[in-house]
Structure 1
Amino acid sequence: MYCTVEDLIIEWKREAVLTEKILESLTDEALLQQVYPEGRTLGRIAWHFVTNIPDYLTEFGVPIAKVPNSNVVPSAKEITEVFKTVSSQATNALQERWTDDMLKHTQNAFGRTESNATIFMGLIKHIVHHRGQVTVLMRQAGLSIPAVYGPSKEGWAQIGITPPL
């Protein structure tokens, strides 16, 4: 849980770096990867969580600029660049507008009364959830997966270790 805005920003930045590593590994071809024919594509999932950030933050009291034309999935490079911009705007808005005490305030979030700290932790978890989906689709598309919370298959190989099963 976040006790200070600085705690939240530290976690936000840490997760943003990990998300950037994943997004920077995408290719335009891989954006079309699907789990099943009617399912969302890798590109749609990545673009969803990137464009959702301004909506989510604005809904819960940290207004930042919406992403224009968020219904059309852009190139892999643009998804990454928009994420970096949105992430930076979120950091700046939290630093400029929020106090530690505001993290304790409660509001309705998805039918529950939650503290702002819990609400923002939910946003980070939402991104992490979709980042996991993206990595599975990346693997199916034949892309290398960067290390996130530990080495990926490729990371183990680089250090000469057979990955544990």
Structure 2
Amino acid sequence: MTCFVGHDIRSLALAEHYFGASQDCEDSILVRVHRGTGAGIISNGRIFIGRNGNVGEIGHIQVEPLGERCHCGNFGCLETIAANAAIEQRVLNLLKQGYQSRVPLDDCTIKTICKAANKGDSLASEVIEYVGRHLGKTIAIAINLFNPQKIVIAVKSPKPIKCCSLLLKAALIPRR
């Protein structure tokens, strides 16, 4: 029995390859938005690790040159936009500026934001679409680099269907 100890996103990509959504293809990328944003890459049926095991850090692709400072030291990394804490902070900042929303100022969590987006809240929906546009740009880069047969997007949110469909719709709109 082969044993693999590794990064959570790469392990999740491997699990999807063996048992889940990408088991029917040799080349796939799993993108996860959670505490951070990253990717697990399966190439020729094997997890792609690279020389020092640091492959798939798509959260550190710069998508907004004048964006927020990332914990990596760069500015405008995808992770400053498409991570649960970044989404929560963006909505909180907009609420503090006076934007109207069903999201209460004292309960601005990813769970509450997704519930509000699922109920048609315009602020929550717009923030999710904003995240989706930037995530889509980054996924397009990954597609051009690795030419996968399938992209799997993993998010952890309550009732993700409607909330994620907004994000996916924004991410998959063809770029001209």
Higher helix proportion (structure 1 or 2):
1
Query: Which is bigger in relative contact order (C-alpha 8 A, separation at least 6)?
Result: 1
TM-score for both structures, normalised by structure 1: 0.35
Higher strand proportion (structure 1 or 2):
2
TM-score for both structures, normalised by structure 2: 0.34
